[in-house]
Chain A
Amino acid sequence: MMGHLRFGFLFVIVALFASLLTLLNQDGPTPLLAPESISVRAPDYVVEDFSAIRTDENDAGYKMLLGKKMVHYPDDDSAELEQPRLITIEPGKPSVQLQADNAKMSAEGEDIYLSGNVVIVRNAGKGRGETILTTSLLHLIPDQDIARTDKPVEITETNATIRAIGMEMNNRTGHTELLSQVKVVHDKKR
């Protein structure tokens, strides 16, 4: 049922999301707006319809971050994304994708808030079916390997559907807490 659910895949994608975002955030293009006209909350650069690819050393796989728009704010060094989408391709491993309507990233990527139709999919593979996690808000804390939400969350696998309100995943301890109203349906024949 839930016992064989391994949430580690979520953290792979959390770390990637943070690293690619930080990458994008560091050496942003020349500001579109003249410095003098910057008001307090004005962005210093905007990137549209972008994709950032990170290949690993031996070019065996890659991670791609796509987005409709990214806006960076110099006042607090934060960034906001529209339609972020992350895809990971690694040989021998099921591909994992993450998408959301919006993402907000604090300076240095310490806190990332994914909001609106947050969907994380791990494709079938290695003897396991597809795993899909959906929620409306996911707060990622990459440095602590924690992902949490206080919203309804649903996790579906080949044989099981798990629903709860509130979840906290800690990749260091390997613990996932479902915080309230936990409902599981497990059907071997599905």
Chain B
Amino acid sequence: ERADSEKPVHLEADRATVQDANKLATFIGNVVLTQGTLIIRADKMTVKEDANGFQYATAFGNLASFRQKRDGKDEYVEGWSERMEYDGKADKVQLFKKARLRRGKDEVHGDYISYDAVNEFFQVNGEGGTSTQTHSEGRVRAVIQPKKKEPKPEADNS
């Protein structure tokens, strides 16, 4: 949801390391980041912060996952991948390797998927040529459900 980026970020993990030099925090083990309706789960996550307090997280997992409610709809977008990058300012998630995104009944697979939560726009890339790590041989697969046409109101012949 659009309001998510204004909500507090809650982050839990088994342990964490903070490096003074590059201001990087690394969370390890059962990592869960929540911000409003957004939830990211991972085995490991690095988090940086910009001067305005926006968070930028990179999540790693087998697989890392994210889930976020769609704006104004009682429906969720979910995604999975080996690596996931979350931009708290742009409210955008990028999925790398074994990427899968599901929105309602639609689902796409690829090697790279980016999802822009503000505009609810997603883009899928397959990796050209043979790709060892995806069963889809680097090709994009999408299942887009036909939208049921709203029944036209009957013409009033009276």
A: residues with CB less than 8 A from B are: 1-8, 159, 164, 174-190
Among the listed A3, A175, A179, which residue makes an inter-chain contact with B48, where contact means beta carbons less than 8 Å apart?
Answer: A3
Please state if A186 and B55 are interface contacts (CB–CB under 8 Å): yes
Task: Tell me the minimal C-beta distance from A121 to chain B in angstroms.
Answer: 19
Q: How far is the CA of A155 from the CA of B18 in the complex (A)?
A: 13
How large, as a class, is the contact surface on chain B?
20 to 34
Interface residues of B, dominant DSSP:
strand
Q: How far is the CA of A179 from the CA of B19 in the complex (A)?
A: 14
Q: Does B106 contact A (CB under 8 A)?
A: no
The verdict on A2 contacting B16 (CB below 8 Å), with A174-B21, A182-B27 known, is yes
Binary contact track B18-55/A, C-beta < 8 Å → 1, others 0:
11110111010000000000000000000111001111
B: residues with CB less than 8 A from A are: 6, 8-21, 23-25, 27, 47-49, 52-55
Q: Which B residues are in CB contact (< 8 Å) with A183?
A: 10-12
Instruction: Considering the complex, give the chain A residue whose CB is closest to the CB of B56.
Output: A3
Please state if B9 and A2 are interface contacts (CB–CB under 8 Å): no
Instruction: Considering the complex, give the chain B residue whose CB is closest to the CB of A127.
Output: B51
- Can you report 26 residue pairs joining A to B where beta carbons are below 8 Å apart? A1-B25, A1-B47, A2-B25, A3-B25, A3-B47, A4-B23, A164-B15, A175-B17, A175-B19, A176-B17, A177-B17, A178-B16, A181-B14, A182-B11, A182-B13, A182-B15, A182-B27, A183-B11, A184-B9, A184-B11, A186-B8, A186-B11, A187-B9, A188-B53, A189-B6, A190-B8
